Amino acid sequence: MRYALLFCCFLMLCSPAIAEDALPADSSFETRRGWVFEFDPADQPYPDYVADPRRPRMSLGFALFDTDIPDTSSGRAVLDAGTRYTLFKITDPKGINDFALDIEGCLFTQFDTGNQLDNVGWDGLYGLFLVYDWRDTITVRYGYRHLSAHLGDEYIESTGRKRVGYTREDFAFGLCYQVNNDVQFYIEPSYAFHIGNNARQERWAVEGGFQYQGPHDMWNNSTAYYAGIHFRSFQETGWNLGTSVQGGFYIKRSASSSNCRIGVEAYTGRAILGEFALDYDESYVLFGVMFDFY
């Protein structure tokens, strides 16, 4: 799994350059009735949950953990490789409401810095969502999402632990309310129609939170403050609340290049990695760099 760590680092370093070199062409057209179709749009109608530790993103961070997971140290390198991508957006003739189709995918990994960067575990996620944006005030999405959790090979070899078989396929309904240009509230319940461990997993979960995105008025109007708090709760762990907060600087570049967040993330709740989530709790503070393509 050390090769996976190197590969994720390579992606992190290369992604801004790749986005900057690929200048987008005009890919929109208007019908006779005034509807505008835009493929590969430059923005996304549905916002990211910036403080969500399971948000698809390109991220490189170092975290200090207080964890119940046995045979792990307190330091971990955390690397995520993925994104949420809007395939197309449709705007009504009045230019007020939008429809969109999003796909997302991400690989979430953790490497134990106190044990020669052994891989503790990794989760894979992908999904497909339909989005409706009403007057840039209320935005909803509905779709399918799959998460599959795995133990790291080195962790299995050193501890003998066997997989729980944590897999979750669900339908999710998200609703976001735009209070003003800076503040958003959101909630997203989900129901798992397929679970990997029928004896221990349950069907329902819910997440939500609020976030602040300030104006880009620092450093040549390229940088803003941002902050968010995210809550997650699962029926399978007694609806115990997991809470994460994140804040820092959001650096917005040109439309043809990726944006960057430099921030601090703190979390407390059930273990983030799915294979440990049913058995252990943990808290951490993470210092990281995240790249957003929108």
Nearest by Cα to 86 from 132, 127, 45, 134: 45
Please report, in angstroms and rounded to a whole number, the separation of the first and last CA atoms in the chain.
Answer: 30
| Helix locations, 88-186, DSSP H | 153-159
With beta carbons less than 8 A apart as the criterion, state whether 257 and 19 touch.
Answer: yes
Assess whether pLDDT exceeds 80 at residue 2. no
What mean pLDDT comes out for the span 14-40?
67
Distance in angstroms (rounded) separating the CA atoms of residues 35 and 294: 23
By CB atoms closer than 10 A (0-12, 13-18, 19+), residue 31 is exposed
CATH number at residue 158: 2.40.230.10
Q: How many CB atoms lie within 10 A of CB 260?
A: 19
pTM: 0.89
- Percent residues over pLDDT 90 in the chain: 82
Distance in angstroms (rounded) separating the CA atoms of residues 287 and 267: 12
Q: What are phi and psi of 51, to 5 degrees?
A: -95, 5
For the stretch 56-103, pLDDT in tens is 999 999 999 999 999 999 999 999 999 999 999 999 999 899 999 999
Assess whether pLDDT exceeds 50 at residue 15. no
With cut-offs at 50, 70 and 90, classify the pLDDT of residue 25: low
Distance in angstroms (rounded) separating the CA atoms of residues 176 and 133: 9
Which residues, other chains included, contact 55 with Cβ-Cβ below 8 Å and sequence gap of 6+?
48, 49, 84, 106
Residue 146, domain extent: 2-292
Assess whether pLDDT exceeds 90 at residue 236. yes
3-state class (DSSP) for residue 46: coil
Distance in angstroms (rounded) separating the CA atoms of residues 56 and 40: 18
Distance in angstroms (rounded) separating the CA atoms of residues 214 and 247: 11
Q: How many domains does the chain have?
A: 1
For the stretch 281-291, pLDDT in tens is 999 999 999 99
Distance in angstroms (rounded) separating the CA atoms of residues 30 and 37: 6
What mean pLDDT comes out for the span 135-156?
96
Assess whether pLDDT exceeds 60 at residue 22. no
With beta carbons less than 8 A apart as the criterion, state whether 51 and 265 touch.
Answer: yes
With cut-offs at 50, 70 and 90, classify the pLDDT of residue 234: very high
Q: What is the pLDDT of residue 28?
A: 81
